[in-house]
Amino acid sequence: MTRKKNQIILEKVEVIDIGSKGRAIAKLENGKKLFIENAVPGDICDVQVFKKRRSYLEGKAICFHELSSDRVEPVCEHFGTCGGCKWQQLDYAQQLIYKQSSVAKSFLNELSSEIKLPEISPIVGSAKQYLYRNKLEYSFSANRWIPKEELELEIEDRDRDALGFHIQGMWEKVLDINHCHLQEQPSNQIRLAVKKFAKDNGLPFYNLRYQSGLLRNLMIRTTSTQEVMAIFQFFEDDTENIKKLLDYVIDGFPNLTSLMYVINKKSNDSFFDQDVILYHGRDYLIEEIEDLKFRIRPKSFFQVNAIQACELYKVARSFAQISRQDVVYDLYTGIGTIAQFVARQAKKVVGIESIPQAIEDAKENAEVNQLDNVDFFVGDIKDLLNDAFIQAHGLPQVVITDPPRVGMHKDVVQKLLEIAAPRIVYVSCNPDSQAKDLALLCEKYDVTRVQPVDMFPQTPHVENVVLLELKA
So which residues are the catalytic ones? 429
The type of residue at 273 is: D
User: For residues 139 and 177, is the Cβ–Cβ distance under 8 A?
Assistant: no
Q: Residue 293 is inside which H or E element, if any?
A: strand 292-296
The half-sphere exposure of 250 on its side-chain side, counting CA atoms within 13 A, is 13
Rounded to 10 degrees, the C-alpha dihedral 265/268/270/275 comes to -10
**How far is the C-alpha of 66 from the C-alpha of 47, rounded, in Å?**
13
The separation between CA 317 and the C-alpha centre of its own chain, rounded to angstroms, equals: 22
Edge-to-edge strand ranges of the sheet holding 277-281 = 174-176, 162-166, 135-141, 215-222, 228-234, 258-263, 277-281
**How far is the C-alpha of 348 from the C-alpha of 345, rounded, in Å?**
9
**How far is the C-alpha of 286 from the C-alpha of 74, rounded, in Å?**
33
62: helix, strand or coil: strand
Query: Is 303 a known ligand-binding residue?
Result: yes
388: helix, strand or coil: helix
310: helix, strand or coil: helix
**How far is the C-alpha of 425 from the C-alpha of 435, rounded, in Å?**
13
Give 314-368 as a DSSP string.
HHHHHHHT--TT-EEEEET-TTTHHHHHHGGGSSEEEEEES-HHHHHHHHHHHHH
398-401 and 445-453 as β-strands: parallel, antiparallel, unpaired? unpaired
Q: How many angstroms separate the most distant Cα atoms in the chain?
A: 76
Give the number of other Cβ atoms within 10 Å of residue 372's Cβ.
10
Query: Is 387 a known ligand-binding residue?
Result: no
Give 130-145 as a DSSP string.
SS-BSEEEEEEESSB-
What are the CA-CA distances from residue 61 to residues 24, 43, 48, 86 (Å)?
10, 10, 6, 14
Mark the binding-site residues for S-adenosyl-L-methionine, compressed into ranges: 303, 332, 353, 402
